[in-house]
Amino acid sequence: MSPASPSSSSLTTDTLFSPSPSSRLSSRSLKGESNGVEEAIDKVRNFVTTPIRKPKLPSGPPPPLPEKPGKIRESKADDSSSEGSQSHFGTLRSKTFFTPKNKSIGYISTGTIARHHKLSRTVQIRTMASNGLVMELQQPFDYETYLFDADGVLWRSMDPVPGAIKFINELLERGKQVYIVTNNSTKTITQYMKKVADLGFGNLHENNIISPNVVLADFFKRNPHFMSKAVYTIASSGVIETLEKELGVETFGSGPDAVSPDATFLSTIDVSREVSAVVVGYDVHISYNKIMKAANYLRDPNCGFFITNEDYTFPGPDGALVVPGTGCVTAAIRACAHPREPTVFGKPSEQLELYMKANFKLDPTSTIMFGDRLDTDIKFGNQLGVDTCWMRTGVHKEEDVMRAIDEGAKELVPHYTFSFEQYYAA
């Protein structure tokens, strides 16, 4: 009598796939009917006995989300696949996902993207430019108001950036509002206008130029007590002439003030002259004496502490030379005057923002800021809530933009990039 077959309730993987003679016989007996049965049994055996591994999911929060996307192309997405879904992660380069419902963006730099729940019906996707970082500005004449940095954007030293003159003239011909918002305090507006004309931007006028000296003068007019005494200046002639000729303020401190070649340590300094403020700008004659005087004047809490701008470097004529900027000077004064905090008048300062909003009708939805520096131009434009366009002809390069994206410094990330020369060559 043959042995009884085991019941279905007692079957296990051990009884099904044990190397017993009976199991081997069953497998061989089936071979005559189908050569693929044994192979199928082997696949089932491997599937049942292989432990299930949980997939590894990315840890940590999604990348920081910038607040403003700019203008982007639309691509329809299936609502059922995104509405109310959990957060998901994937890999993709050179894409930005924007959800118009909550105005959030995921910038893609390291290959990881985040798709957040409750996406709207239309997921808008913008493709980055060929540099893989920022989208190229495709419709440069779509705005009504244009804000430009100067050095490194419109010109380098005394050489206009190729295509810049043509672009500015075309904007003016179209009736656009055009302003140069520069951090250069070395010139008065009159001197600046001469340079603008000499370079070929002759269609611009004084009311098109906004510099730290303009904002400084406006601030002093609204706060006349800072003009009651002399002002100690570590700055160039542009600041001196603005204070003296436009405001009638007495200044001192300009020019060389070098330490004696024999000196090894300074323990005294003459700060007997009364001052109402210390104004710091670009000064090629910066010295230990000047830093020490400024620090001691600023011990008086009633003495105003003012800085024109804080650009660490300026773009050189050929781009290969590092030119130390005002920020190098102001860093030394800040360190000695700590914990005093200065009032700054250049980009991206609050004072400049207040001046712009009080004196110009800026509609953020139709305004764009062009600049080469992320920490001044782009940051200022983002603070204003306008579109920002990074120009590749000045100080900051692609690696700086990538660093800002990777570090989540959304205030430094531009919406677009653009080239006058490439636009007119196309």
Return the structure tokens found at 270.
């003459």
CA 26 remoteness from chain centre = 71
Out of 78, 79, 142, 149, which one is annotated catalytic? Answer: 149
User: What is 76-141 written as a DSSP string?
Assistant: E--HHHHTTPPPEEEE-SSEEEEETTTTEEEE-SSSEEEE-SS--SEEEEEE--TTSSSEE-S-TT
The answer to whether residue 372 is catalytic is no
φ, ψ at 74 (rounded to 5°): -105, 145
Determine phi and psi for 6, rounding to 5 degrees: -65, 150
DSSP 151: B
- Of the candidates 14, 78, 79, 151, the residue annotated as catalytic is 151
Contacts of 64 (CB under 8 A, 6+ apart): 107, 408, 410
First to last CA, the chain: 93
CA-based nearest residue to 82, from 67, 101, 64: 101
- b/e map of 233-248 (b: 16 or more CB within 10 Å)? bbbbebbbbbbeebbe
Closest by CA position to 413, among listed 134, 169, 167, 226: 134
Type and span of the H or E element at 148: strand 145-148
318 is catalytic: no
Q: Is the peptide bond before 69 cis (omega within 30 degrees of 0)?
A: no
State both tokens at 86.
Answer: 């959990």
How far apart are alpha carbons 145 and 363 in whole angstroms?
Answer: 8
Contact assessment for residue 335 and residue 288, using Cβ atoms and an 8 Å cutoff = no
Closest listed residue to residue 97, CA positions, set 84, 80, 86, 117: 117
The catalytic residue positions are 149, 151
